[in-house]
């Protein structure tokens, strides 16, 4: 009975993880396309929450219907001239002058009536909004607080200043010369300030606080540091450091920039063997939901939002970069078609382009199904 209860609990947890972690980011992505379409003069006929069939039309704003749909897998924007979810209406009788004028006006505001440059902006809107969302969330992470690091001594070199001061492995460095240590970088910085001078270390050992004195070496033996210790940082969730909004924005931007850099360079890192191939395997909806579920549990248990927000940031950046891949049906593929059109000075017909995107979309669906099965038979190792 407990196994059944655990299974139900895990299933509900994954559904919750999908709802709070992925659906909002897909809607943010589509909202980026919607905003850019508005700015470039393209009509958005529908902004859907979920995928058809439709449950209800929520409201109408100008030419856009905002709808709620049955399949809770994200959302979509249907632009004028883009027949993705609605079949093109066929004229059964001669159109009235009013209808003809309306049809002509609609064509002026259709996707393929716009220049390649404007269409590229529309396609970029989704990924750009994902990156902006990641920046906002990263800033929020640093303002609400991130854990400091407890600096642990892993090794002590024989006959070193640390050994002579009776420092032991597993000691925690709390402060150096009265300055609080919040990371391994602090140890390096404070040590460099006191080379060749008596230096006081405040340590924590077996729950007790003690103070030792040593003199960091300006010219240590090869393979050793100034004090003769090897250190590592361990997350200290009990001590959160909060930053002012200005600093948080700077640190958040740097953090998102690093994620983007690693994501873009991932194939190179894999080829060079810097990242094991098993750690770079694609993760499907189930894997993402499991990771998000774990982050929600971590946030609840720690009483801090950073575990959850950190995962959402990673997903948002990944979603933006993935959609920029030059594959038909993705934003990057549509950008590629627009660039080719600009170079050739002659477009493909909208019908042919949409057919190419549709076929590729079906292939991607098959790939996603395979990845989902992989998530089930070989679950991703949760962090």
β-bridge partners, 232: 152
**Quick one: pLDDT at residue 323?**
94
pLDDT class of 84 with cuts at 50, 70, 90? very low
Q: Which residues lie below 8 Å from residue 123, measured CB to CB, with a gap of 6+?
A: 33, 331, 332, 334, 335, 338
| Integer angstrom CA distances of residue 282 from 14, 176, 287, 323, 343 | 18, 44, 9, 14, 34
**Quick one: pLDDT at residue 289?**
82
**Quick one: pLDDT at residue 14?**
59
**Quick one: pLDDT at residue 79?**
94
**Arithmetic mean of pLDDT over the chain:** 86
Interval 118-151: pLDDT, tens = 999 999 999 999 999 999 999 999 999 988 878 9
Q: What percent of the chain is modeled with pLDDT above 70?
A: 89
**Quick one: pLDDT at residue 255?**
95
**Quick one: pLDDT at residue 94?**
60
Task: Please compute Rg for the chain using Cα positions.
Answer: 28
Cis status, amide bond into 320, omega within 30 of 0: no
Concatenating the DSSP letter of every residue in 109-133 gives TSGGGS-HHHHHHHHHHHHHHHHHH
Q: Rounded to 5, what percent of the chain is helix, strand, coil?
A: 55, 20, 25
pLDDT class of 100 with cuts at 50, 70, 90? confident
Residue 30 bears catalytic tag = yes
**Quick one: pLDDT at residue 382?**
58
> Both tokens of residue 226?
């100034």
| Contact (Cβ atoms closer than 8 angstroms) between residue 142 and residue 247 | yes
Interval 318-361: pLDDT, tens = 999 999 999 998 999 999 999 999 998 888 887 888 889 889 98
β-bridge partners, 59: 66
Q: Tokens 């360079």 sit at which residue?
A: 265
pLDDT class of 176 with cuts at 50, 70, 90? very high
Q: What CA–CA distance (Å, rounded) separates 132 from 118?
A: 20
Q: Which domains does the chain have, with CATH numbers?
A: 123-145+243-354+368-383 (no CATH), 146-241 (2.30.42.10)
Altogether, the residues listed in the chain come to a count of: 383
**Quick one: pLDDT at residue 241?**
87
Interval 216-235: pLDDT, tens = 998 889 888 999 999 998 88
> Which residue among 30, 46, 353, 354 is the active-site one?
30
| Integer angstrom CA distances of residue 127 from 27, 204, 231, 344 | 12, 47, 39, 26
């Amino acid at each position: 009975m407990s196994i059944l209860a655990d299974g139900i609990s895990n299933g509900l947890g994954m559904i919750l993880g999908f709802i709070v972690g992925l659906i909002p980011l897909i809607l943010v992505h589509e909202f980026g396309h919607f905003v850019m379409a508005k700015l470039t003069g393209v009509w958005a006929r529908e902004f859907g929450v979920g995928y058809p069939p439709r449950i209800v039309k929520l409201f109408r704003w100008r030419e856009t219907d905002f709808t709620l749909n049955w399949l809770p897998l994200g959302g979509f924007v249907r632009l004028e001239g883009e027949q993705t979810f609605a079949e093109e209406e066929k004229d059964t009788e001669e159109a009235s002058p009013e209808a003809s004028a309306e049809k002509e006006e609609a064509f002026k505001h259709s996707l393929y009536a716009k220049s390649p440059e404007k269409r590229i902006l529309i396609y970029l809107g989704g990924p750009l909004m994902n990156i902006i969302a990641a920046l906002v969330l990263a800033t929020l992470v640093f303002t609400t607080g991130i854990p400091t690091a407890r600096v642990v001594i892993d090794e002590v070199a024989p006959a070193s200043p640390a050994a002579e001061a009776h420092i032991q492995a597993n000691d925690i460095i709390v402060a150096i010369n009265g300055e609080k240590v919040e990371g391994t970088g602090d140890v390096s910085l404070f040590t460099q300030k006191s080379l060749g001078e008596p230096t006081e270390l405040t340590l924590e050992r077996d729950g007790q606080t003690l103070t030792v004195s040593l003199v960091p070496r300006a010219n240590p033996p090869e393979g050793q540091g100034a004090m003769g210790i090897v250190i590592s940082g361990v997350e200290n969730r009990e001590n959160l450091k909060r930053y002012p909004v200005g600093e948080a924005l700077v640190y958040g931007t740097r953090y998102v920039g690093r994620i983007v850099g690693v994501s873009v360079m991932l194939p190179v890192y894999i080829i060079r063997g810097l990242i094991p191939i098993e750690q770079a395997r694609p993760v499907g909806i189930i894997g993402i939901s499991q990771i998000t579920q774990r982050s929600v549990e971590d946030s609840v248990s720690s009483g801090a939002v950073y575990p959850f927000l950190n995962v959402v940031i990673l997903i948002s950046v990944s979603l933006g970069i993935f959609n920029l891949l030059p594959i038909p049906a993705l934003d990057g593929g549509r950008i590629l078609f627009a660039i080719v059109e600009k170079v050739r000075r002659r477009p493909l017909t909208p019908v042919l382009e949409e057919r190419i995107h549709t076929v590729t979309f079906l292939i991607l669906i098959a790939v996603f199904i395979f990845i989902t099965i992989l998530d089930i038979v070989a679950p991703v190792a949760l962090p």
